[in-house]
A and B are shown apart, each in its own frame.
Chain A
Amino acid sequence: MKTPLPALPREMHKAPTGIAGFDQITAGGLPKGRTTLLEGSPGAGKTLFALHFLVHGARHCGEPGILVAFEEAAERIVANADGFGWDLAELIPDQLMFVDARPDADLVRSGNFDLIGMLASLGALAKQMGARRIVFDAIDIILALLPDESARRREIHRLHEWLLAQGLTGLITAKKGGDEGSSISTTSHGFMQFMVDCSVVLNHTIVLGVSQRDVRVQKYRGSSFNEDESPFVIGPGGLDVAIARMLGAADAPTSSERITTGVERLDTMLGGGYYRGASVLVTGFPGTAKTTLSGAFAAAACERSERTVFFSFDSDGSEVMRNLTSVGIRLEQHVQSGTLRMVSARTISGSAETLLSRIKAIATQHQARCLVIDPLSTLSKSGSELAAHGAAERLIDWTKSQGITLLCTSLLDELAEQKNGGAQLHISTLADTWIHLNYLVQAGERNRGMSIIKSRGTAHSNQVREMILSESGVTLADTYTAGGEVLMGTLRWQKESAERIANEVAEAQGELKRVRLDAEEAELAVKLKSLQTELVAKQVEKALLTRTSMSRERELAGELSRIRESRGADATNLDPM
């Protein structure tokens, strides 16, 4: 009775479900023209999954579909689906048909029966509307009416053969076998498992009081698939399966563009700012101005007219804005212009996955280019650590794939830090830039210190800076290192003023010396001048003296000769007495 199935090219034999994430897990969707079994406990989301599959087929793949409801009234399913904005009315009846096949409550049974009638009717309907997809929702209800195990097996087999013959992509949902609420016995469940080409299990568990949904592909004949449990949420647009990154998935192109951190000197420390599309982690104890740093980033992004979403899980959005105003960061105008969206959810509950899904939905809706999450540690507030870690990883992965610049803060409590020396969510390895804020206690003061622990692809300053919050904004101050210790606050101020005074003294002393030297120089100049005058006087005197003595000699000589002449003495006797 086995119908031969020709091998089809890979893409052609998949029927996409349109469920975000699920199509990636299964490399394209459910097996086309074959049967898939979808199991899950009550309330796990089976009907929703099935409906998503049909709506996507009808609306986007040109594959009309039929939903055969054994358990829930068709009108109720339609009404529930409207909550997801699927607008089924537009598709019915040409693209989507509901067949209410609930057995009557007062149904009387006498002897054996089969499903041939149903299949004949559905066959005709499928032909009429050219259906390519069909869902049998809650097959267990009808199987329970069959008298014995062999009858069940026979009908399951009949259904399967019919689906293959019709060439329809079938999805059969059933309550999970082995569950208390299941009306299928283990045997027929096993038989169904064996018969179908693909089997998917939806799980709904409560971990530490938090609802957690997982989907797992149990088998998939002739296709590769991800075998792990993947968390999913029922979001505003239907199912959303969180997927771990598949190898080879594309990121947004890596950018070397720098965007400002909102703090001028931090930009310098980072060699120009954060990279566009990077994920930045800011860790620190309570009160170390993590939110302020986030706010500065958000404000700077808005000033560049980049759409930004600010998630505040610690305090109300308006409180955050008020508090930031006190340090000169003004966000109101950006909220009013619609550039910035503040989302506050102080007492949000739900699993990390639910939070992640909401964050993604809101950011997508807002077309955000920058995203602030304050603090990310909210993810681990409820539910299991592991789930929170997974969600944080996927958040970073998602923002990277979208090219969104992400800044998230993470609260560290002192004990936790001592224990593992890092962020609780272990995302510090994933973040591109990790800025740590802490208090330095010195000389009876607490001062805020900022250090860049890592920044990929950036030559960054390794020095601890002091962060100063003032009315005019956030500034970073140089710190003084003395004897291997970083000085901050008053100590830094003291050190600074001491240096200033020393400078002034040195300057004054220099000035004094210069003046003194000037005076000496002037004095010497004066001295020089008077000496020169004296010299001239002396020279004049000397010249005069020479001249006088010469004329005297001349006169003397003249006198002698006159005397000689008058005496008439001879020339040899020249003795002048």
Chain B
Amino acid sequence: MYRFELFVAGDAVNSAQAVANLTSICREYLPDRYEIEVVDVFKEPNRALTQGVFMTPTLMTLAPPPPRRIIGTLSDARIVLLTLGLATPG
């Protein structure tokens, strides 16, 4: 099971794009094997502070280990998959 935390800044353009991109990547590569929690930094600023999230959007993978962190709109699916170990370089 893949568990994600996606920190977004309300409905800012970059954040909205990230939510859409992450959902589509998960649907395609991890069907029924994922959980996404979207954290709005405007609503939970302290959570962002304690997690050290400063750039939005930020994707954090909680499981499986090791924990990873990707910033940006996740527009490049290949980088996301490589980071998650779902694709091999090359």
Contacts and interface: CB of A to CB of B under 8 A. Distances in A.
Interface of A: 99-101, 103-104, 106-118, 120-121, 123-125, 142, 145
Contacts of B41: 116-117, 120-121
Contacts of B54: 101, 103, 115, 117-118, 121, 142
Given A110-B75, A110-B79, A116 B9 contact: yes
Q: With a 10 A CB-CB cut-off, give which of B9, B15, B83 has the most chain A CB atoms.
A: B9
Contact of A111 (B7, B9, B48, B74): B74
Nearest to B82: A108
A115 B15 CA distance: 11
Given A111-B17, A113-B55, A115-B55, A121 B49 contact: yes
Contact of A121 (B45, B57, B71): B45
Contact of B71 (A108, A123, A124, A125): A108
B52 A101 contact: yes
B76 interface: yes
A100 B52 CA distance: 7
Interface in B68-88: 68-76, 79-80, 83
B73 A111 contact: yes
A111 B49 contact: no
A575 B8 CA distance: 189
Nearest to B58: A117
B74 A110 contact: yes
A111 B19 CA distance: 13
Nearest to B66: A106
Interface in B32-78: 41-42, 45-46, 48-49, 52-58, 68-76
Contacts of B73: 110-113
Nearest to B49: A121
Contacts of B80: 110
B45 A125 contact: yes
Given A120-B41, A121-B41, A113 B69 contact: no
A125 to B, nearest CB: 6
B12 interface: yes
Given A113-B73, A117-B41, A108 B83 contact: yes
A107 B58 CA distance: 10
Given A121-B46, A123-B45, A125-B45, A114 B55 contact: yes
A120 B76 CA distance: 26
A544 to B, nearest CB: 154
A117 B17 contact: no
Given A110-B76, A110-B80, A117 B70 contact: no
A117 B79 CA distance: 22
B48 A117 contact: yes
B57 A113 contact: yes
Contacts of A118: 48, 53-56
Contacts of B75: 110-112
A91 B54 CA distance: 24
Nearest to A117: B56
The 10 A-B residue pairs whose C-beta atoms are closest, nearest first, are A117-B56, A111-B73, A124-B45, A116-B9, A111-B75, A118-B54, A111-B72, A120-B41, A110-B79, A121-B45
Given A109-B71, A123-B45, A145-B55, 12 more contacts: A108-B79, A110-B79, A111-B73, A113-B58, A113-B73, A114-B14, A116-B14, A116-B15, A117-B53, A120-B9, A120-B56, A124-B46
B9 A110 contact: no
A99 B49 contact: yes
B57 to A, nearest CB: 6
Q: With a 10 A CB-CB cut-off, give which of A106, A108, A109, A145 has the most chain B CB atoms.
A: A108
23 contacts: A99-B49, A100-B52, A103-B54, A106-B69, A108-B69, A108-B71, A110-B72, A110-B73, A110-B76, A110-B80, A111-B14, A111-B17, A111-B73, A116-B10, A116-B12, A116-B56, A117-B53, A117-B55, A117-B56, A120-B48, A125-B45, A125-B46, A145-B71
A113 B49 contact: no
B77 to A, nearest CB: 8
Q: With a 10 A CB-CB cut-off, give which of A103, A112, A113, A125 has the most chain B CB atoms.
A: A113
Given A101-B54, A108-B79, A110-B70, A117 B46 contact: no
A504 to B, nearest CB: 100
Nearest to B43: A120
Interface string B1-29: 00000011110101101100100000000
A123 B10 CA distance: 14
A113 B57 CA distance: 6
Nearest to B46: A124
B85 to A, nearest CB: 12
A121 B46 CA distance: 6
A427 to B, nearest CB: 53
A114 B12 contact: yes
A563 B14 CA distance: 194
Nearest to A127: B45
Contacts of A145: 55, 71
Nearest to A118: B54
B72 A120 contact: no
A123 B43 CA distance: 12
Nearest to A155: B55
A151 to B, nearest CB: 10
Contacts of B12: 114, 116
Contacts of A109: 70-72, 79
Contacts of A113: 14, 55-58, 71-73
